[in-house]
Structure 1
């Protein structure tokens, strides 16, 4: 929901700079097409673009605690707080009077009552800025799992901030410069919390409050994963997982607009769809939940099982929709759709970076556009694999014991690292050492449980790495691409109550039947078809049409002209080495394949030109 931007300068009078602030806020229109606003004072300007979901008339922003008093705190807010109704009642009991029914006002009045520490009372996905004129203090606050993005760029006398880098880059004091470390972050498949790639820019870390005053900047964590003993037996654990998910999904259906689901036919999205359908039936809603799937023309006929994909998704999605009574919509794509320059340009503009998981990002955009035609909010199954242990690398002994980020193992097996070495990038950017250093940093953060050792200790580490270094990449991708078409995607599996509980469930219990995601499958038994519960984990769908690879080769060949930005990074000779690899040798796609390296080269070239990036190696 929504997009924000702002500017604080403790020395300059900003009342004469509303045009600049408007330009920054205007870059967020895709995140908030329904309304926009600026709040201006001498040393702070807050901007907001609104996607109206709750209290369509009353929730306009920026919002001041007291509409008639310009000296009171003001907020520009994005996201949803799912426990806002309980918080509102608590605040009313403390004497607060509300003039709207929006969750934004609840968040603002919670700050007035409890100060910055109120953040740990929130359950939701959110990122917001609060300017307090009484103390001349700016707070930037982000949700626990980092679902909603928030960036900042310190200046000599203050700070620029926005939901996305493009808002900050619209200010003439912010330059689009990327140095060697930024390039390492792009090409290493490591998303370091707080790292924004652009030089001088930072991302607010999940569960963090960043504070700006005349004295400078400080930050504090208001939540973090903790290692706790798990005392529930297996049956109790399965039951509690089900209870939590039922409550979470029901809370996340609250909206004053239509809500649907993303349904792949896998366990995670099927669980969310089934629970949403059940909750709506409980509430007496007669209209069925709408569930959307993506597929490729001729995919069933062309499909070949491989290490990543065991079977096509669509038949399972159809079966789930029939079982739970959902209205099922299939969005079917062909190569022309995902090669469309407009689609690819929109994805690049959405992400502000050339990070690419191949054709998955383009098909996701088209799927989100189809959803947006019928709704404003959708529930998705992100984070279940990281939490319950669904990926292949959780169950691959070599990956688990690799002494590195476990997803780099399939990246190497699928040829992605080899392709980066072929074009000289892996060694030129010294990615072996970079990954090693970032891995050591992440491992140092892992909360430890006294007495835990061996496989249990290692799987706690692997789970932590996935939740903090892999899931943040996927959550950012989903948010950016969905919000590019003004669609809000909610992610039930990121609810911190579920994350805390399942994170501390022993690995032996998470795999009690010898399979991936045992707890989640057991908790959904009886609600979903057995065929879905028992099928092997599949990644998000990717085209297997070899003609797509040929089109990528042609695009890379077209880059080999004098002055092409990508040639600042890799030589024509090295790119030709990659093109000399026999056709069909790049694998079936996905973020780990050599084919995805072709995507990255194309996207890098377009990105440098589109954003006028200065690359400093």
Structure 2
């Protein structure tokens, strides 16, 4: 796993502009702590930071093919899981290889098939290829958007990078945010391509962007399509199992230590069990996480009815993993150093899910001490229908994003402390409605599909193209901030495509969440885990965490120069602080405090200019 950056400018010679491309590349050092590289030509400069996973000596980048008339150069982030098959096919076409790396396979795939090569890749990746034969840059992002890739068009070319910070490091780009950018920060809509910063965009999942002297064009090479599902239930269950087995086996390939992230829930347990039985892999390491105070005395709440630890231990014994429990100190979540690292990793205020960002960062930091690659159960809920809103008739009928309906929205609300005039000016409800209508128009149609099934197809599409991206972004930023590669088998596009077209009646055939996944892995797991109700990622129950948030908000309110102060309803914020300790944890207020604090840190640290 790596970080990439680059600069194309057809109006000047950038080959000697080493300082600019080095500064851009250096911002991504955490993503690639093992090596760095730069490559320049008259109108292009490419940078690379490497986290070595496969062919530790041979996979250095940027990688150039010298045999063509003009050099073709690649800077690549990610993993291609079918590189062995592609390598064999390319040898059949006459290609020879200098390395064992998937990087060279990607480069030669482009040489063989041109821009259509992306359709042949199975993996998670973000890459840039400069073709000197026609002076064209091609940016490509994987189908599900597991790996990020941002770009900033300029009058004579483009700037790009794995994270916004790489683009912002260029002297011609400033951190400006307009009304739509702020709306994206404040609401859980995650509009494809929107990057918050003015003039900056994300390469959309399943798309490529081509930049030449003629300008910039965007092309789609993959999207979810509606097809009739003709398999019966038994065949469907077997097919899901076969796809999962093949996917996990492919994703076990690594020349560095590999492990599994295990919560004791269905998703991570299924991946761990499949990984543990992969031939030739040796004994698998697994890691679970919880807070020290929860380990001493767990208290059920509205969303977590049971602690993870007993289930994780049971699964580890059941499949014989080398298991490690990581216990976090809630006090670390408020550490200025940890908060600064989280903000630096995200480039945006990570307000939603509150303490989950710093806790995930600390978990990955601990895991990185033992291993470089980890498998995750992320995205199974979006794919198989695991969230409560899939099974809530009110959420299904609602004319908005299901995670923003009553009962779910409390996890994503953070506007309560903002100035009322600002909120009215931004018109978040109107923006949300427009983005929702836009998302619905993208849902593929299956002629003759019954209305109920049609609506559940919409629900699945919304989760797989909007909501899942927020989780994948969080996973990517927090893991790469410590140089840990996290792989997500449930994002294999073959599995996603198959399950997306499976009727909802099959996905919930036993009346429960994720029925199809449970049936496909029933023989791998103990009954307790198969029957366990979905439990989300743990959050701290330590009252000291709330106290720390309140203290920081009070400091902001006392500071007349605090960057966020002009955006807040100061009197309402003071009223929240006047409530007794513990009251904020039982309302939306904690999320609002988190939002205010992160906004303040972001506006100040990134010197953001708001164009409202």
1:530 to 515, 527, 530: 527
Deviation at 1:548, TM superposition (A): 1.3
Tell me the alpha carbon deviations over residues 54-110 of structure 1, each in whole angstroms, 9 at most, x when there is no partner.
1100110000112x6682210000000000000000000000111111001101101
Q: In 1, Cα distance between the equivalents of 2:426 and 2:572?
A: 15
Deviation at 1:377, TM superposition (A): 0.5
Q: Is the 8 A contact 2:138 2:208 kept in 1?
A: yes
Tell me the alpha carbon deviations over residues 486-516 of structure 1, each in whole angstroms, 9 at most, x when there is no partner.
0000000000000001001111111111100
2:368 to 363, 366, 372: 372
1:322-361 matches, cutoff 5 A: 322-356=317-351, 357-361=353-357
Tell me the alpha carbon deviations over residues 431-462 of structure 1, each in whole angstroms, 9 at most, x when there is no partner.
10010000000000001111113221111101
2:387 to 387, 391, 401: 391
Structure 2: gaps spanning 5 or more residues: none
Distance 1:405 1:437, change over 3 A: same
Deviation at 1:578, TM superposition (A): 3.5
Tell me the alpha carbon deviations over residues 572-617 of structure 1, each in whole angstroms, 9 at most, x when there is no partner.
223224334554333469xxx5312211211110111111111121
Paired positions, count: 609
Deviating more after overlay: 307-316 vs 420-429: 420-429
Deviation at 1:420, TM superposition (A): 2.6
Secondary structure in 1 matching 2:180: helix
Q: Is the 8 A contact 1:249 1:492 kept in 2?
A: yes
1:53-72 matches, cutoff 5 A: 53-66=53-66, 71-72=70-71
2:564 to 563, 566, 578: 566
1:546 aligned residue: 543
Distance 1:94 1:422, change over 3 A: closer
Q: In 2, Cα distance between the equivalents of 1:536 and 1:175?
A: 47
Q: In 1, Cα distance between the equivalents of 2:48 and 2:304?
A: 42
1:517 aligned residue: 514
Superposed structure 1 runs of 4+ greater than 4 Å apart: 410-413
Q: Is the 8 A contact 1:420 1:426 kept in 2?
A: no
Deviation at 1:426, TM superposition (A): 4.2
Secondary structure in 1 matching 2:255: coil
1:483 equivalent in alignment to 2:480: yes
Q: In 2, Cα distance between the equivalents of 1:459 and 1:179?
A: 34
State the TM-score, normalized to the length of structure 2: 0.97
Deviation at 1:419, TM superposition (A): 5.2
1:418-497 matches, cutoff 5 A: 420=416, 424=420, 426-497=423-494
1:575 to 573, 576, 588: 573
Q: In 2, Cα distance between the equivalents of 1:427 and 1:182?
A: 16
Deviation at 1:410, TM superposition (A): 4.9
Q: In 2, Cα distance between the equivalents of 1:518 and 1:325?
A: 25
Q: In 1, Cα distance between the equivalents of 2:47 and 2:187?
A: 34
Secondary structure in 1 matching 2:217: strand
Distance 1:409 1:594, change over 3 A: farther
Q: Is the 8 A contact 2:418 2:569 kept in 1?
A: no
Secondary structure in 2 matching 1:87: helix
Tell me the alpha carbon deviations over residues 194-252 of structure 1, each in whole angstroms, 9 at most, x when there is no partner.
00000010000000010101111100100000011111111111111111101100100
Aligned-residue CA RMSD in angstroms?
1.6
State the TM-score, normalized to the length of structure 1: 0.96
Tell me the alpha carbon deviations over residues 106-125 of structure 1, each in whole angstroms, 9 at most, x when there is no partner.
01101011000110000000
Q: Is the 8 A contact 1:377 1:489 kept in 2?
A: yes
1:381 aligned residue: 377
